[in-house]
Amino acid sequence: MVNVKVKELQPRRCRLVIDEATPYFVNSLRRVLLSEVPKMAIDDVIVYDNNSGLFDEIVAHRVGLLPVTTDLNLFKFRKECVCEGKGCQNCTIRFTLSKEGPGVVYSRDLQPDNPAYAIADPAIPIVELLKGQRLILEAEAILGVGRDHAKWQVCSGVGYKYYPIVKVNNGQVQNADAVSKSCPVDVFEAHKGELQVVREEACILCNACVEKDRETGGKGVTIKGDETKFLFKFETDGSLKPDVALLKAVEIMKNRLNEFEEKALKLKVMEAEV
């Protein structure tokens, strides 16, 4: 039975321990988090006035990458919406921006039609306006997935590693100090010639400590990765909370398997060719 324990859950960051799983299972979770969890992002920009230092296309690109706060219970993909792709409040968030220089245009200057869907980071600079320069535009955000464009990618830094098992037999360690210092992520502390494991989970299985131990004439340190237990971590851009993104990813995987099951049940044995 797969077992999940939350190590850290912050507004944009999550660390889990997934126990009794396999690499291909956690890897498919990683890939779904990266490329299939949907979010809203600006996809259409109408520029009314722009005499800033940046071309319309660059401004549109920068605006497109802003993290739009998304409620997955409300919004639908435009192609699946009742409006049949025309754009309505079930599938579209409209923004307006109007600013005159001097000053910097920030993401907070982009006003959504509903304040609940403001840009998640208010202080992302878009362009600097000098005296007399203006930027006036309208934009539409729609639902999409990271597979189609990076602006729809909710999660980043999605990764996992085998759960590290660090074992120390102090009777066989000759130079605790040197072994402790050889670790790049400070897994150990050395006290009076004794080596202690203080941050086992930080271990990146690099084996530097084992090599240093052998080099100094000892054989008391062993490192192993547990192949059925994983430290899984990811971050979001603020458009979705990490727990929402994770549950959505699981739902997507489940739906896909259900769909597959339906098709598989309809398979018929082919007549043998004579």
Residue numbers of the site for Zn ion (CB under 5 A)?
81, 83, 88, 90-91
86 or 149: whose CB is closer to Zn ion? 86
Q: Which of 157, 161, 232 is nearest to 203 (CA)?
A: 161
Within 13 Å of residue 269, how many CA atoms lie on the same side as its CB?
Answer: 2
Dihedral angle, C-alpha 109, 113, 115, 116, nearest 10 °: -130
Pick between residue 84 and residue 186 the one whose CB is nearest to Zn ion: 84
In whole angstroms, how close is the CB of 230 to Zn ion at the nearest point? 39
Look at the chain and count its residues. Answer: 274
Nearest to 199 by CA among 184, 210, 213: 184
Strand partners, 138: 46, 96
Say how many CA atoms lie within 13 Å of 109 toward its Cβ: 21
Q: Of 94 and 214, which has the nearer Cβ to Zn ion?
A: 94
Q: How far is the CB of 90 from Zn ion (least distance, A)?
A: 5
Q: How far apart are CA 169 and CA 223, in angstroms?
A: 12
Nearer to Zn ion, 91 or 249 (CB): 91
Shortest distance (Å) from residue 88 CB to Zn ion? 4
End-to-end CA distance of the chain: 46
Task: Give the nearest distance from C-beta 103 to Zn ion in angstroms.
Answer: 35
Q: Please identify, using beta-carbon distances, which residue of 128 and 140 lies nearer to Zn ion.
A: 140
| Shortest distance in whole angstroms from residue 272 CB to Zn ion | 51
